[in-house]
A and B are shown apart, each in its own frame.
Chain A
Amino acid sequence: MLTQTLVPAPATLRSRRTQLAYDKASNRIAYGSGKNVYIRSVEDPTKCVVYEKHINPVTAVAFSPTGSYVVSGDQNGEAHVWGLNGDEIVHKTTVQATNGRINSVAWDFETKRVFAVGNGTQRFGHAFMFDSGNSVGEISGHPSEVYGVALRPSRPPRAVTVGEDGALVFYHGAPYKFEKTVKKHTGSIWDVAYSPSGEKFVSVGSDRQVIIYDGKTGDFETLIDTKHSGSIFAVSWKDDNTIVTASADATVKLTDISTNKVLESWDLPKELANFQVGVVAAGEKVISLGFNGDLYYWKQGETKPTRVLQGHQKGVSALLVADNIFSSSSDGNVLKWTDGLAKRLDETHNCPVVGLLNYKDELVSAGWDKTLATLEGKTAATLSAQPIALTSDGSTVYSVSESGFEVVGGDAVAIDRCATLDAHDGLVAVGHELTVSLYRDSKLEFDFPAGRMTISCVKFSPNGEYLAVGDTSGKIVLYDAKSHQIVTSRWTFHSSKVTSIAWHKDGERAVTGALDNNLFVYSVKKGKTHKIEAAHRDGVTQVSWLNDDIVSAGNDGSIKIWTL
């Protein structure tokens, strides 16, 4: 049973806005990460609800005005409408809105009509009834990709779409029909938003301009000077008079539009990771999103963020369960989890991190840059080849690469096409192609007979009695490490590449994860004892034990804790 999900960070894209959604009624935010939509409580971000029905990466999400429905759009133009009742999710409709990326979605004030806009070869968006999927208008007037959409929250209904060409298209509804084009921006328009009352709307773009229009007629009203020194990606209304903007100059600014005065400017160090690509006003708070996936909580009157939420944006590549859970992802981030929330440790590696382990009594991370770095960022050791995986037998750390394995700070043994290794008390098991070989002191001790599929994972039991060998077809064969006989071949329930095997400290049970998204707990005596299906979308990458609970991590960027 799932007890906790350590939530991944929102997915971001270079030079793109990321839509964040906020629901006032339940005080929750929503965003897409991987193929899932995560809905998190603002006050207690460890609480989350996950929508898992998209088959493509999620790119846009919006709450209905009452918060009882959500629309989410994905990379392939599919818009999903689903009901949300507390923590319960009910899928409603799936509509093929475009055949390209959906950049933005929006609801009308009656919770009846939905707009989904983005890229496509036939059209750049679709307006439809949320329950039937029937068309309620036409998105027209854009010659290229549409980036944003806003619907008027009161009568008479109006809609605005903005796009790459710098044009703003105004629609009368419903059904929504083209009314006029307003061209005030000199570059792409990234975002557009209606004020809570519907009196005005605002557009922001790459020309750093913030423009206010009349909500009913769509006429130009004023130009707001926010003094952003970078492209403005996102805008949100805090109330009818104040807007908050997020920009590529790594700042978030709160501006009073009636006096044209910047009330607050929250600045972060100016670097790519801090480019602010999304923002939403959440009651008294403002929540903004950095390019690196960090969510910042801002409060008027305080210059520092009151809270920063971090998480993985990419698949988890290494996991270490000690007093805390440490995890790393293929983008080089190493996170430390405390009470369900993450803190990023130094980003030393700018490449996939493949190992987190103890080296000389210190926690180190190892990446494709061939270095073992301490969590303070110091280089602890260097490797001679790009590692695939690392393991430790308590006293020694071993690293395996495509061309062999090496003792960190010691000898190397050349073997062709290695994939995995594990070590126990000086005995090293290396999986290469169809075979597992045992080495001691860099000398070949034994070759297990070749299997049928490439070996993908090997693991010694805690006392070194057994060696579990998993292959790319999902089979795990358990050998006696001393007599080299098969103990059992009953661990065959995975249907694709076994990525991780973790023994319980009792030496009798092991949890296994594979690319088939499932987790199994196998017992030496009893065979399969537990099955956890669909644990992670896109495959499980790492498994471990936390006392008698299971910790699993996957390519969806999340880490989950399960009780048996």
Chain B
Amino acid sequence: MRLPAIPKDATDITTTMSKSGVTLHDDALTAFNNFKLGGRKAETNYVIYVLSDDKTQIVVEKKGLASSYDEFVNELPENDCRYAVYDFEFELPNNEGKRNKIVFYTWSPDSSPLRSKMIYASSKDALRRALNGVAVDVQGTDFSEVDYDSVLERVSRGAFR
């Protein structure tokens, strides 16, 4: 017996569509790939994603080269949700050199509207699954959770052994 043919774009459905029906804008992936494959000469070390106004697509809100981690964190809004990726660079102890790891942020501050929190939580997979090479997922509900020290602790877990 022949199995029904798998539709060609089946994988696309799982990777780009989430439970809430929100899809990924093409630019979102392009921005990530440029960011990821740019190497040392990359023009961006962070990308912040936002849901489009009609809440149907995840689009790039901002990307750029932050000179410090705090500069990137300051781009996160106080009262609304976002997704973000950041190329986290840190030093290993004993001068063992620098390491970079890509961190994915789900920024959902306590003070953001409930509706926003819900739609960001249910749409997260649409973006997150499409991004390969993310080392650490950080869920942030206030600024202490996305603080340099706490992210460093997450990122360097296992790296110091």
**Residues on A facing B (Cβ under 8 Å):** 452, 475, 486, 488-493, 526-528, 531
Which of chain B's residues 49-85 have a Cβ closer than 8 Å to chain A?
70, 73-74, 78-79
Are the C-beta atoms of B110 and A527 separated by less than 8 Å?
A: no
Inter-chain contacts of A491 with B (CB < 8 A): 143
Given A489-B111, A492-B144, A528-B143, 18 more pairs with CB closer than 8 A: A475-B142, A486-B78, A486-B79, A488-B78, A489-B78, A489-B109, A489-B142, A490-B143, A492-B142, A492-B143, A493-B143, A493-B144, A493-B147, A527-B73, A527-B74, A528-B144, A528-B147, A531-B149
Q: Select which of A488, A527, A531 is within 8 A of B70 by beta carbon.
A: A527
Complex CA gap A174/B107 in Å reads 65
Inter-chain contacts of A493 with B (CB < 8 A): 143-144, 147
Inter-chain contacts of A452 with B (CB < 8 A): 110
Number of A-B contacts defined by CB within 8 Å: 29
Chain B: interface size category: 10 to 19
Complex CA gap A475/B111 in Å reads 12
Complex CA gap A452/B143 in Å reads 16
The 8 closest A-B pairs by CB, nearest first: A492-B142, A490-B143, A493-B144, A492-B144, A489-B78, A492-B143, A489-B111, A527-B143
Inter-chain contacts of B111 with A (CB < 8 A): 489
Inter-chain contacts of B70 with A (CB < 8 A): 526-527
Inter-chain contacts of A527 with B (CB < 8 A): 70, 73-74, 143
Complex CA gap A526/B70 in Å reads 8
23 contacts between A and B (CB under 8 A): A452-B110, A475-B142, A486-B79, A488-B78, A489-B78, A489-B79, A489-B109, A489-B111, A489-B142, A489-B143, A490-B78, A490-B143, A492-B142, A492-B144, A493-B144, A493-B147, A526-B70, A527-B70, A527-B74, A527-B143, A528-B143, A528-B147, A531-B149
A99 CB, nearest partner CB in chain B, Å: 37
Complex CA gap A528/B111 in Å reads 19
Complex CA gap A527/B69 in Å reads 13
Query: Closest residue to B109 on the A side, CB-wise?
Result: A489
A470 CB, nearest partner CB in chain B, Å: 14
Query: Closest residue to A489 on the B side, CB-wise?
Result: B78
A429 CB, nearest partner CB in chain B, Å: 20
Inter-chain contacts of A528 with B (CB < 8 A): 143-144, 147
B140 CB, nearest partner CB in chain A, Å: 10
Complex CA gap A492/B147 in Å reads 10
A311 CB, nearest partner CB in chain B, Å: 34
Most chain B Cβ neighbours within 10 Å, of A452, A475, A490: A490
Complex CA gap A531/B143 in Å reads 14
Inter-chain contacts of A492 with B (CB < 8 A): 142-144
Inter-chain contacts of B73 with A (CB < 8 A): 527
Most chain A Cβ neighbours within 10 Å, of B73, B79, B142: B142
Query: Closest residue to B142 on the A side, CB-wise?
Result: A492
Inter-chain contacts of A531 with B (CB < 8 A): 149
A531 CB, nearest partner CB in chain B, Å: 8
Inter-chain contacts of B149 with A (CB < 8 A): 531
Query: Closest residue to B145 on the A side, CB-wise?
Result: A492
Inter-chain contacts of A486 with B (CB < 8 A): 78-79
Query: Closest residue to A492 on the B side, CB-wise?
Result: B142
A498 CB, nearest partner CB in chain B, Å: 13
Query: Closest residue to A493 on the B side, CB-wise?
Result: B144
B139 CB, nearest partner CB in chain A, Å: 15
Complex CA gap A531/B111 in Å reads 24
Task: Encode B25-53 as 1/0 by CB contact (under 8 A) with A.
Answer: 00000000000000000000000000000
